[in-house]
């Protein structure tokens, strides 16, 4: 059995056994992953379609033979009810014809909730301060095959036809005043303001009663930072910090080193600015030595961390809970030195406070956003299985102090077809991400490194099913082909202005500026 798989504007097939693997990774019934965009030479001075001015514009390559280039204008984001937002989009062709079927439900966040005819369900809203992705609301509660609360697009648009109009309803908290609009095949806009209802409803658009009866579809994201002394994961409602006891303490000791105190000052600052509720501090050891002794050592180390955090001003009105687990809850199984090093840790975790009130962004010019036509000048040659492929960095652009978007063009200059997923299985994978538990068809395979060798990773979904990213999905890259990809990533602090960009199976790009 085979099913069609649409990738970068080309149709290939995927076997039933491969579908089973994808289904296992995605935690859902298998479906064709969303296409990654295939950039093409822009049309000469394309004219914006008539109608309301766009808040922002995304561009996408066409399906089928790849001859079409589509323009997606975000016309409005309207607060339809107190806790829902309606996005209004205008889709036109700038070259050739554009198949509207490519805007269908995404294989995003490990969940596919919609039927295959829900063509505008592929658009999502990103609420970056809340680390949340809003997908189209569902007309019923089905986890798979549900109809979306959105326009059912069909057919094609051409350069001479009228643009297609689409509306999509999302559940968005009343406190959120701006969101970015994204499509896995195109990228993500800058944050855009949510305004009051202003345009007339489409004939098939639901009223307040139908919206109230529909079901939200929201997924949380997690940022990931790994450094020499700590690993930090931050989700929409919780922060978890794993402190390396090999850095904090001398062997078999519970007295903090001078290097540890500098690390814990940064941890205390995180707690002061983010924590709401109880801060838990739990010590862990490896499996070397007596279990009872290890239990006591882990407790003494957790207490030392608590004292240092309080001394750095992290307590405030917060409650601290301290515990030692010894060797009873290993992070990694096995007796290798790498596994034991991962198990020697003190974990600090706490509920994340709600984001502060957002400043409403100004409306950007329509051409601003991630559809950047030129590259940044940073390139990397492929290694090992990627020989003959060149990666051009298009942009590293901050969306906020904690999140950025990375966009690349990959060019196949070899004499063979390239399976891009092979890069995800390269020997660099574990070193760069700390895990090999990833969906290989997703553009997971990069990290950023600052001067202190702190590494910043692609945003992952939080909670089960884990290890999916808000990023492009890749398949085959034909000889002479080119594909544009993007991934949302954990951003370095604002004072870090340049980073090394490391792609699996590619030469590193050094000292790349962040814009």
List Cα–Cα distances, 197 to 216, 363, 482, in angstroms: 20, 16, 41
57 lies in the same domain as 166: yes
Query: For the domain that residue 405 is a member of, what is the CATH number?
Result: 2.60.40
Residue 10 placed within a domain: no
Give the pLDDT band (50/70/90) at residue 37: very low
Report percent pLDDT > 70 for the chain.
Answer: 80
Q: Which of residues 324, 342, 372 is at a domain's end?
A: 372
Both 310 and 418 in a single domain?
no
Domain final residue pick, 339, 372, 405 = 372
Is residue 511 left, alpha or beta, with left meaning phi > 0 and alpha meaning psi from -120 to 50? left
- pLDDT of res. 115: 80
pLDDT confidence band for 19 (50 / 70 / 90):
very low
Q: Which residue has the higher pLDDT, 52 or 157?
A: 157
Mean of all residue pLDDT scores within the chain: 81
Digit-coded pLDDT (tens) for 128-158? 889 999 999 999 887 778 889 999 988 899 9
Q: Please check whether residues 368 and 292 belong to one and the same domain.
A: no
- Same domain for 324 and 401, yes or no, is no
Do the domain assignments include residue 19? no
Q: Is 36 a member of any domain?
A: no
336 burial class (0-12, 13-18, 19+ CB within 10 angstroms)? Answer: exposed
pLDDT at res. 222: 86
Give per-residue pLDDT as tens, 317-352: 889 999 999 999 998 888 889 889 989 999 999 999
Residues 144, 265, single domain; the answer is: no
8: in domain:
no
219 band by pLDDT with thresholds 50, 70 and 90: confident
% of residues, the chain, pLDDT over 90: 46
Instruction: Check whether residue 422 and residue 482 sit in a common domain.
Output: yes
Number of domains in the chain: 3
Query: Does residue 228 fall inside a structural domain?
Result: no
At CB < 8 A and 24+ separation, what contacts does 50-53 make?
Answer: 51/75, 51/90, 51/163, 52/76, 52/199, 53/366
We report the CATH number of the domain holding residue 273 as 3.30.1330.60
Do residue 217 and residue 272 come from a single domain?
A: no
Token pair for 161: 């036809």
Q: Which residues pair with 319 in a beta bridge?
A: 278
Please give the pLDDT value at position 464: 59
Whether residue 407 is predicted with pLDDT greater than 70 in this model: the reply is yes
Question: Do both 293 and 199 map to the same domain?
Answer: no
Kindly tell me if the per-residue pLDDT of 38 is higher than 80: no
**Average of pLDDT values for 217-246?**
90
Pair (316, 217) in one structural domain:
no
Q: Quick check: 268 pLDDT over 70?
A: yes
Model pLDDT, residue 314 = 83
Question: Which two tokens mark 132?
Answer: 């949340």
Look at residue 200 and tell me whether its pLDDT is greater than 90: no
Task: Look at residue 339 and tell me if it is in a domain.
Answer: yes
pLDDT score at 215: 93
pLDDT band for 35, please (50, 70, 90 cuts).
Answer: very low
Task: State yes or no: pLDDT of 85 exceeds 70.
Answer: yes
The predicted-structure confidence for 368-386, as pLDDT tens digits, reads as follows 444 444 566 899 999 988 9
Residues 456 and 484 in one domain: yes
- 269 part of a folded domain: yes
The reply to whether 293 and 189 lie within a common domain is no
Cα R_g (the chain), whole angstroms: 24
Structural domain of 401: 384-513
Do 340 and 444 reside in the same domain of the chain?
no
Q: Is residue 89 part of a domain?
A: yes
């Amino acid at each position: 059995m085979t099913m069609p798989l649409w990738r970068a504007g080309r149709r290939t097939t995927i076997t039933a056994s491969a579908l089973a693997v994808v289904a296992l990774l995605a935690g859902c019934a298998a479906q064709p992953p969303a296409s990654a965009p295939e950039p093409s030479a822009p049309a000469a001075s394309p004219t914006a379609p008539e109608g309301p001015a766009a808040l922002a514009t995304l561009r996408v390559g066409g399906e089928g033979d790849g001859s079409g280039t589509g323009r997606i204008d975000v016309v409005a984001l309207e607060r339809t009810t107190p806790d829902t937002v309606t996005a209004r989009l205008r889709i036109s062709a700038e070259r050739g014809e554009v198949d509207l079927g490519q805007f269908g439900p995404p294989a995003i966040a490990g969940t596919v909730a919609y039927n295959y005819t829900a063509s505008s369900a592929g658009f999502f809203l990103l609420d970056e301060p809340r680390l949340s992705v809003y997908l189209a609301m569902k007309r019923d509660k089905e986890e798979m095959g549900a109809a979306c609360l959105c326009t059912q697009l069909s057919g094609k648009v051409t350069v001479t036809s009228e643009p297609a109009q689409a509306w999509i309803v999302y559940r968005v908290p009343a406190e959120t005043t701006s969101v970015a609009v994204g499509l896995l095949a195109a990228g993500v806009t800058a944050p855009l303001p949510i305004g009051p209802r202003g345009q007339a409803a489409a004939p098939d658009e639901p009223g307040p009663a139908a919206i109230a009866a529909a079901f939200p579809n929201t997924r949380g994201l997690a940022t990931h930072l790994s450094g020499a002394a700590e690993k930090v994961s931050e989700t929409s409602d919780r922060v978890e910090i794993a402190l390396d006891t090999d850095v904090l303490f001398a062997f078999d000791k519970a007295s903090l080193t001078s290097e540890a105190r500098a690390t814990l000052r940064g941890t205390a600052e995180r707690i002061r600015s983010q924590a709401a509720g109880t801060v838990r501090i739990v010590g862990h050891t490896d499996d070397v030595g007596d279990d009872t002794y290890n239990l006591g050592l882990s407790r003494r180390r957790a207490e030392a961390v608590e004292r240092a955090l309080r001394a750095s001003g992290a307590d405030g009105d917060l409650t601290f809970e301290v515990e030692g687990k010894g060797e009873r809850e290993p992070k990694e199984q096995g007796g290798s030195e790498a596994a034991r090093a991962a198990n020697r840790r003190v974990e600090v975790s706490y509920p994340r406070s709600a984001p502060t009130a957002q400043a409403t962004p100004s409306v950007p010019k329509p051409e601003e956003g991630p559809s950047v036509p030129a590259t940044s000048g940073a390139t990397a040659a492929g290694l090992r299985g990627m020989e003959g492929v060149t990666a051009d960095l298009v942009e590293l652009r901050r969306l906020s102090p904690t999140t950025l978007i990375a966009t690349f063009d990959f060019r196949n200059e070899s004499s063979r077809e390239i399976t891009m997923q092979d890069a995800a299985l390269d020997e660099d994978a574990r070193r760069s991400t700390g895990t090999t538990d990833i969906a290989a068809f997703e553009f997971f395979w990069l990290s950023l490194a600052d001067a202190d060798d702190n590494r910043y990773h692609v945003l992952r979904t939080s909670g089960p099913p884990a290890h999916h990213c808000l990023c492009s999905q890749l398949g085959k890259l034909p000889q002479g082909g080119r594909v544009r990809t993007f991934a949302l990533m954990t951003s370095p602090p604002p004072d870090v202005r340049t980073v090394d960009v490391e792609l699996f199976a590619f030469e590193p790009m050094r000292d790349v500026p962040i814009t």
